[in-house]
Amino acid sequence: MLTKENFVGIWAGIPVAWNEDESFDEKTYRQDVERCCMAGVLGVYTGGTTGEFYAQEFEEFCRITDATIAECKNAGVPVMIGCTSTYTNGVIRKALYAVERGADAIQLALPFWLSVPDDCVVSFFYDVSKATGKIPISIYCAGDRMKKNLPVKLLNEINKSVPSVYHIKGINVPDDEKEIAVQELSINFNIFVGEHLLSRLGRYGAIGSCSSLVYLNPAILLYMQKLLFEKNWTELDLWCEKISKIIFEGLRPVLEKGCEDSAVDRLIGRAAGFLKTSLRCRKPYPFCTQQDLEDFRNWLKNNYPEFLDLNWKK
């Protein structure tokens, strides 16, 4: 059972594998989930932006949820399912299905088509928790995609009214306010941040990451997890600097051409061959090309070849 004590570390945020006709490639997807489990991640997660929750009908959500949970349960690895929707009952419908199938946690962003007023935010999480019981709920602080940022005070009000909400993915505050926000929130929440921020914000209480870079090279990210748990900031600083350069330099060409999130994460997973998913996202969203993949591999080879070595050991 997930608790505040063990809902920590590096979790793999998995993209969904699609066939050329954009149908669900279940065989490849199951293999990718199994591969992440066998690599030793502390949990697997789908149904966020990387998992393209916004591009799925409910029946597809059910198939993907079934496949994810089945592979994780078979491997004995905790699993979190993103259940975001544009309205409360849509979230509850997804969440009840995930809970019934055996999810260990659910993740929710606020409904995002219209902005949710402050006085409706707490009641939204309360309503979902009331319907789903005591399952841990993670808040996906998706910033402008939710049309609002959730300030520290409001997040703590959510936790006070809905104790099962004790996990946050992302911190959407100005960069110079991140440390104090993490320090204040980590009293009530487990904070997951981007891999490049693990050392900087780990000093203030961040405790993990919903990661895509873990399936670039699992051994390296799990070593970074070890350093985080040990609070070995000096060595973790060096690895986070490499991760920052991969994100902001190595991936810059595909980001500049309009690829983001799921498209970029597929590129990352394919770079060293760890994931077998296609590069394809569902239309109308752009995705990376085979040439983009080759260019990124070459950049890694010239700068950080250790990330292409799936047999890497410290």
Identify residue 76 by its one-letter amino acid code: G
Round to whole Å and give the CA distance between 169 and 153.
17
Confidence of residue 147 (pLDDT cuts 50, 70, 90): confident
Strand partners, 209: 10
- Whether residue 240 is contained in a domain is answered as no
Residue matched to tokens 């809905």:
162
Assign 222 a pLDDT band (cuts: 50, 70, 90). Answer: very high
Q: Supply the pTM of this predicted model.
A: 0.96
Please give the pLDDT value at position 290.
97
In a domain, residue 274? The reply is no
Q: How confident is the model at residue 149 (pLDDT cuts 50, 70, 90)?
A: confident
Domain count, the chain: 1
Residue 143 reports pLDDT greater than 80: no
- Does 285 reside within a domain? no
In percent, how much of the chain has pLDDT > 90? Answer: 95
What gap in Å lies between CA 212 and CA 14, rounded to an integer? 7
Peptide bond into 284 cis (omega under 30): yes
pLDDT band at 26 (very low <50, low <70, confident <90, very high): very high
In a domain? residue 19: yes
Is residue 256 included in any domain, yes or no?
no
Tell me how far apart the alpha carbons of residues 218 and 38 are, in angstroms, rounded to a whole number: 10
Separation of alpha carbons 144 and 170, rounded Å: 12
How high is the pLDDT of residue 89? 98
Residue 300 lies in a domain: no
Within-domain flag for 312 = no
Distance CA 310, CA 287 (A): 25
Residue-wise pLDDT for 34-86, tens only, equals: 999 999 999 999 999 999 999 999 999 999 999 999 999 999 999 999 999 99
CATH at residue 213: 3.20.20.70
Residue 180 has pLDDT above 80, yes or no: yes
Residue 212: give the domain boundaries.
9-230
Q: In this predicted model, what pLDDT tens digit does every residue of 76-127 receive, in sequence order?
A: 999 999 999 999 999 999 999 999 999 999 999 999 999 999 999 999 999 9
Residue 204 in domain: yes
Read off φ and ψ for residue 46, nearest 5 degrees: -145, 170
Q: Tell me the C-alpha to C-alpha distance, in Å, between residue 222 and each of 2, 214, 246.
A: 19, 7, 17
In order, the DSSP letters of 50-119 are TTTGGG--HHHHHHHHHHHHHHHHHHT--EEEE---SSHHHHHHHHHHHHHHT-SEEEEPPP-SSPPPHH
Residue whose structure tokens are 């994780």? 72
